[in-house]
Copies of this chain bind each other. A is one copy, B any other.
Amino acid sequence: MTVPDDAGAVSLTVDVVLLTIRDGRLCVLLVERGIEPFAGTWALPGGFVTADEDLEAAARRELAEETGVDAGPVHLEQLRTYAAPHRDPRGRVVTVAHLALMPDLPHPVAGSDAAHARWWPVDEVLTPTTHGPVLAFDHPTIVRDGVERARAKLEYTTLATSFVAEPFTLGDLRSVYEAVWGVDLDAPNFRRKVLSTPGFVVDTGETVSVGRGKPAGLYHPGEATDLHPAMLRPEPSRDLTRG
């Protein structure tokens, strides 16, 4: 009652598309590869799944080991599995990609591997430019799929709150939508939509001064996870593939 050694035998890895928003731009965390194959190019943080290890546990472990990110608080979900026969020149390596979202916290890029980790704006990753990174393996496809998943889920879930640190203003939250979707949203209408969705956000009663403007109310994420009806995404007003 065992599986023959060669039956569907593959090496299994996890990769993580970790997204955040820095300076109003959607960014992805990449790690510079030090070894072959693809030495010197940029790759998603990830690595082999160990025996007896869960996929999500492996993804959180790799995030911590390779980038110094404490994966405890970040949103993490399975994205898709990539298994094209020759996607890795070393042999049959199948990867289960994950999507992770976090606020722009100053995280320790210390430690062994973490030194070579940095954030890249997704438009520089998706549109190869002279100053953009060269990506390893099929990671361009995985990044694109991850970004598309994030864009889609902002429409019908409350996941946008995963991109902001607590507490946050409604302006912070609106900036998340604007950065991820590459659009400008009408502030009053956005406010009405968020506040009319029970459990999207919880008012703290506090306010905070924001630049030179009226102080803004501070909120925490609410219990709701789904949006009914969905937040409608306008046609992109900015070019999503460029800066």
Binding site for B on A (CB under 8 A): 1-3, 7-13, 36-37, 48-55, 78, 80-81, 83-85, 88-94, 96, 229-230, 232
Extra contacts, 7 of them, besides A8-B49, A9-B12 (Cβ < 8 A), are A1-B36, A3-B93, A7-B11, A12-B94, A51-B92, A54-B85, A55-B83
Beta-carbon nearest neighbor of A12 in chain B? B8
Chain B residues whose C-beta falls within 8 Å of the C-beta of A51 in the assembled complex: 85, 92
Could you write out 6 A-B pairs with CB less than 8 Å apart? A1-B36, A1-B90, A3-B91, A8-B13, A52-B85, A55-B83
CA A78 to CA B84, docked complex, whole Å: 13
CA A70 to CA B235, docked complex, whole Å: 39
CA A194 to CA B48, docked complex, whole Å: 47
CA A37 to CA B3, docked complex, whole Å: 11
Chain B residues whose C-beta falls within 8 Å of the C-beta of A12 in the assembled complex: 8-10, 12, 83, 94
Chain B residues whose C-beta falls within 8 Å of the C-beta of A7 in the assembled complex: 11, 48
CB distance from A237 to the nearest CB of B (A): 17
Contact A3 B90 (CB under 8 A): yes
Contact B8 A3 (CB under 8 A): no
| Binding site secondary structure of chain A | loop
Could you say how many copies of this chain the assembly holds?
Answer: 2
CA A55 to CA B96, docked complex, whole Å: 13
Chain B residues whose C-beta falls within 8 Å of the C-beta of A232 in the assembled complex: 229
CA A1 to CA B10, docked complex, whole Å: 16
Chain B residues whose C-beta falls within 8 Å of the C-beta of A8 in the assembled complex: 11-13, 48-50, 93
CA A39 to CA B182, docked complex, whole Å: 53
Residue of B2, B10, B81, B91 near A2 (CB, 8 A) is B91
Beta-carbon nearest neighbor of A85 in chain B? B52
User: What are the nearest 5 A-B pairs in CB distance?
Assistant: A8-B48, A8-B12, A8-B11, A81-B81, A52-B85
Beta-carbon nearest neighbor of A48 in chain B? B8
Chain B residues whose C-beta falls within 8 Å of the C-beta of A52 in the assembled complex: 85
Contact B96 A81 (CB under 8 A): yes
Residue of B37, B48, B81 near A78 (CB, 8 A) is B81
CA A7 to CA B13, docked complex, whole Å: 9
CA A66 to CA B2, docked complex, whole Å: 21
CA A216 to CA B91, docked complex, whole Å: 56
CA A36 to CA B2, docked complex, whole Å: 10
